[in-house]
Amino acid sequence: MVPVAERSPNPLTRARDAVWRPTAGSLRFLALLGVIGNAAIVATGGAVRVTKSGLGCPDWPRCTGDSLVPTHSPEHPALNMAIEFGNRMLTFVVLAVGVLVFAAALRLRPRRRDLVRWALAQPMSVVAQAVIGGIVVLTELHPASVSLHFLVSPALLVFCVVLWVRAGEGDAPPRPLVPRPVRRLAAGLVAACGAVLVTGTVVTGTGPHAGDAESRRWGFNIEDVTRVHSVLAWAAVALTVLTAAALHRVGAPPAARRRVHELIALELAQGAVGYIQYFMGVPGPLVVLHMLGSVLMWIAAWRLVCALRDRGPAPVTASPAPGPAAAEAPQPA
């Protein structure tokens, strides 16, 4: 077996090796950065909406006119332009992380094909997200395009979370850790969480935070769509409690029970924020916090599903073949 290179004290060298000479641990860390980046971009997207900065950069892919960066414009305040442009720049950061994750998955030895596929999905999805972001601007924040723009992030987070989990486990066929009815209950829970996310976009598209004062809104009654969203949220909570009870009843592994307890805590916190913002007239900061909570809930739900099966320990990784200079260096006996 090829020995793994010693850990360099130089942080830049360690960062390079995490991509060019990756281990399962370094790939998992890069995947975690992808999870964090995609959750953060949801929060910054929420900040764009509540500050009415959605058209701070009124063009795409340029910001204004012939300029890629914000320039002075009497029609768009500098702060709104800066917020929208900052959100666009974060997309490039998330894309860069996705490219690094893909490169690390390709360089991992032994190569694990399913990790390469999960990793490739990340930069490709970010590119799709950028294109949809352009459609959002060109349609002047139509609520349908804005909803799609948001919902791509949870879809992308599935790739990120699964890669994060898979990098730390083996490639054996999945071995169920709980009976099939419990796994089906967990799958229904994920579907309920997805429905909560979708109806949440309808509530936002009907409410006061359109991203711009002149943007079109859905013509629904805000109380009606909020009630539907709330009922689905309570259904997700009920399914989570049922899943927790089932996991305890069948003696599920401690990791699975921790995941479901984390999800219950997030759902209760999310519900509290939702009710508080509703009765306070939907203040902007709470909207951003609620959006961030929704993706954290989504991440926790997928971590729970992954905790219900076992694929064995992660294979021992070896460094890729060294370059010419390293190959000529004397080797220890």
pTM of the model: 0.88
- So what's the pLDDT on residue 68? 82
Classify residue 6: in a domain, yes or no.
Answer: no
- So what's the pLDDT on residue 84? 87
When divided into structural domains, the chain yields a total of: 1
Number of Cβ atoms within 10 Å of the Cβ of 148? 15
Classify residue 252: in a domain, yes or no.
Answer: yes
Distance CA 54, CA 47 (A): 9
Q: Band of the pLDDT at 134, cuts 50, 70, 90?
A: confident
pLDDT > 90: what percent of the chain?
A: 53
Q: Band of the pLDDT at 333, cuts 50, 70, 90?
A: very low
Reading phi first (left if > 0) and then psi (alpha if -120 to 50, else beta), residue 139 is in: alpha
Classify residue 140: in a domain, yes or no.
Answer: yes
Classify residue 7: in a domain, yes or no.
Answer: no
Question: What are the pLDDT digits (tens) for 222-244?
Answer: 889 999 999 999 999 999 999 99
Instruction: For 131-145, give one letter per residue: b (16+ CB within 10 A) or e.
Output: ebbeebbeeebbbeb
pLDDT > 70: what percent of the chain?
A: 92
- Residue positions counted in the chain: 333
Tokens matching residue 28: 């998992």
Distance CA 175, CA 271 (A): 34
Classify residue 97: in a domain, yes or no.
Answer: yes
Classify residue 11: in a domain, yes or no.
Answer: no
**Distance linking the first and last C-alpha atoms of the chain:** 15
Classify residue 329: in a domain, yes or no.
Answer: no
Instruction: Quote the domain boundaries for residue 61.
Output: 19-315
Rounded to an integer, the average pLDDT of 115-143 is 89
Distance CA 189, CA 253 (A): 19
